[in-house]
């Protein structure tokens, strides 16, 4: 299934004010992989994500989704394939009710009313939010908003899910439910996050960005064991890999 490939080749992005956000980024993510993009604030994570659905165009280099490269004609198809969940669900939920919001994508795709209904129902069921369908978005809790935001993307049946800081601002319980939910998705998944424990749980592969460059790309565990690399990129081991501060015992033998 070549649909699910994400490829970046010598990607470079310079903002109009001269800030170089991405220098020379190349990677290839294959079908079904779950990949985390981590890095300090300002490392270029968000800029990278915005290239994956064509919101930003590269200054140099290219991005390919499956067999498509970005052109005006392929843009809509790419945006359907790459479902993007933004960091602040308030930005993503702009319609008067949850139902209309989840239907927004399918309706834009020109699907029939019956198909739209089926898609909305399916997506809401998948995130466990059927009971919210008639609510306006401002009457949802943070965790509910996040789940609905994910449903708005699932309803377009994407091949690739891209999520910017999915667990940001959630309470521990909502975070746990979200992680369990994402474990069930069979899509190719790309996350950015500062929640490194979540990364450890969900992603077998991690890409470390530092000042617009890929500093490391490999199995998540290997990367989190490399103290030198983490320090150089202003990162820290996930808490679950650190010793217990109370009893001093390392839970995970390294």
Residues that bind another protein (CB under 8 A): 50, 53, 55, 76, 79-80, 82-84, 86, 88, 90-92, 94-97, 99-100, 103-105, 107-109, 113, 116, 134, 136-139, 152-153, 156
State in angstroms the smallest separation of the CB of 229 from another protein. 32
State in angstroms the smallest separation of the CB of 146 from another protein. 14
State in angstroms the smallest separation of the CB of 97 from another protein. 8
Other beta carbons within 10 Å of 41: 8
State in angstroms the smallest separation of the CB of 246 from another protein. 35
Q: Which residues pair with 217 in a beta bridge?
A: 207
The 10 Å CB-count burial string (b at 16+, else e) for 112-141 is eeeebeebbeebbebbebeebbebebeebe
Residue 100 to residues 117, 149, 152: CA-CA distances in angstroms?
10, 12, 9
State in angstroms the smallest separation of the CB of 50 from another protein. 7
- C-beta of 86 vs 224, nearer to another protein: 86
- C-beta of 79 vs 210, nearer to another protein: 79
Q: Which residues pair with 84 in a beta bridge?
A: 162
Distance (Å, whole) CA 174 – CA 182: 12
- C-beta of 153 vs 207, nearer to another protein: 153
- C-beta of 44 vs 137, nearer to another protein: 137
> What beta strand segments (E) does the chain contain?
6-14, 20-29, 34-38, 60-65, 68-69, 82-85, 160-164, 188-192, 205-210, 213-219
Calculate Rg over the CA atoms of the chain: 19
Distance (Å, whole) CA 184 – CA 189: 11
Distance (Å, whole) CA 7 – CA 70: 12
- C-beta of 157 vs 221, nearer to another protein: 157
- C-beta of 105 vs 212, nearer to another protein: 105
State in angstroms the smallest separation of the CB of 180 from another protein. 25
State in angstroms the smallest separation of the CB of 94 from another protein. 5
- C-beta of 122 vs 136, nearer to another protein: 136
């Amino acid at each position: 299934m070549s649909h699910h490939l994400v490829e970046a080749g010598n990607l470079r992005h310079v903002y109009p004010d001269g800030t170089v956000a991405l220098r020379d980024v190349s990677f290839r993510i294959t079908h079904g992989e779950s990949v985390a993009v981590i890095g300090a604030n300002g490392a270029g994570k968000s800029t990278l994500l915005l290239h994956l659905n064509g919101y930003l165009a590269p200054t140099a280099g290219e991005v390919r989704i499956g067999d498509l490269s970005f052109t005006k004609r392929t843009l809509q198809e790419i945006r359907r394939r790459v479902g993007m969940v933004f960091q602040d669900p308030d930005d993503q939920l702009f319609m008067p009710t949850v139902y209309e919001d989840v239907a927004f994508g399918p309706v834009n795709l020109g699907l029939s009313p019956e198909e739209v209904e089926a898609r909305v129902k399916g997506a809401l069921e998948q995130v466990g939010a059927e009971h919210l369908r008639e609510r306006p978005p401002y009457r949802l809790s943070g965790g509910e908003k996040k789940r609905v935001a994910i449903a708005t993307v699932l309803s377009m049946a994407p091949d690739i899910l891209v999520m910017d800081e999915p667990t940001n601002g959630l309470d521990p319980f909502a975070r746990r439910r979200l992680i369990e939910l994402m474990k069930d998705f069979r899509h190719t998944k790309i996350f950015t996050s500062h929640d490194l424990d979540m990364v450890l749980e969900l992603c077998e592969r991690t890409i470390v960005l530092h000042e617009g460059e890929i500093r490391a790309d490999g199995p998540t565990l290997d990367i989190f064991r490399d103290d030198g690399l983490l320090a150089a990129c202003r990162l820290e081991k996930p808490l679950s890999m650190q010793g217990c501060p109370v009893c001093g015992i390392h839970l995970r033998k390294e």
